[in-house]
Amino acid sequence: MRRVLIILIVLVAVGVAAGLVITAPKTLPASEVAAGYHPDVANGQVMFIAGNCSACHMTPGQDDRTQLAGGLKLKSPFGTFVTPNISPDKTYGLGGWTEAQFVNAMKRGTGRHGEHLYPAFPYPSYSLMKTSDVRDLFAYLQTLPAIAKPTAPHELKFPFNQRLAVGGWKLLYFHPHEFKPDPAKSAAWNRGEYLAEGPAHCAECHTPRNALGGLETAQLYAGAPNLEAGGRFASNITPHKDGLGDWSEQDLTDFLKSGTDKCFNEPEGMKDVIASTGKLPDADVAAIAAYIHALPPVAGNPKHKTC
């Protein structure tokens, strides 16, 4: 009996150790961020705009989209997430981060100190980005005003306040891979897919989630409640009759540029998004519209039809 108990204890210990190894925070190989790269700051600005970084990280209560002291409180079923300071302040922002630490946060969801980051920060989408684009983004962020303002801690319920648990979430839902263009599609469509699926992370809001916060991929882009508790609803944006089935590609392009939909409404829920897409190069806006317009139609949420 004692021998059996010892064997069971050893098996449990081995299982726990294996689980911790499998779910440990991951980082990219050092070669991904090798020295000698000359960042394209202008491209970094395009990535910043496409990612709508200001919407979450802009200091609440002011309109300057380059003031990135964070502090926005996102109330969710898991508790309240507080967005961090990503200004180049050396104490409270990214000024003390290395480029490699930033790239690993964006593409692997691993923080500066080797900790799991919560997926309220949409790194599952950012992981698709080219490393060069992430490096360019980091360089651009360094040009913005440094703001010496600390970030308040998250206010999360147990067990969601245990970062180790995020490793299990990643095992289930986070499968990082860099975007690969489809040679059968046009350059514009591929650019649109890259922007929509990567930096712009459109699916993160417009796809419903399960009880653990994983995307319901069978309902991709079919519409979903806002991640914030009691927040707005993100509409079905597939070309189904429940969504954008009666929108042309040009309708989508015009909306992403102006914020006014084909019925001459100005949807409140897209205000922050349009503040960014409206500043993207015209070719990038048209590319996103081309990709969204070509999505497979998926039924869902007709009560929240955009127009």
Give the sign of the dihedral formed by CA 162, CA 168, CA 173, CA 179: positive
Give residue 16's pLDDT.
47
pLDDT digit string, tens, across residues 239-282: 999 999 999 999 999 999 998 877 667 777 788 899 999 999 99
The answer to whether domain 37-173 and domain 187-304 are alike in fold is yes
Condensed to tens digits (0 to 9), the pLDDT of residues 221-236 reads: 999 876 544 456 888 9
pLDDT tens per residue, range 187-196? 999 999 999 9
Fold classification of 187-304 is Cytochrome Bc1 Complex; Chain D, domain 2 (1.10.760)
- For the record, the structure tokens of 276 come out as 């960014």
Q: Does domain 37-173 have CATH number 1.10.760?
A: yes
pTM of the model: 0.89
As a whole number of angstroms, the distance between CA 59 and CA 277 comes to 20
**76-103 tens-digit pLDDT:** 888 999 999 999 999 999 999 999 999 9
Position 203 pLDDT exceeds 70: yes
DSSP string, 50-69: HTTHHHHHSPTT---TT---
What are the residue boundaries of the structural domains of the chain, listed by start? 37-173, 187-304
The tokens describing 192, both together, are 């649109």
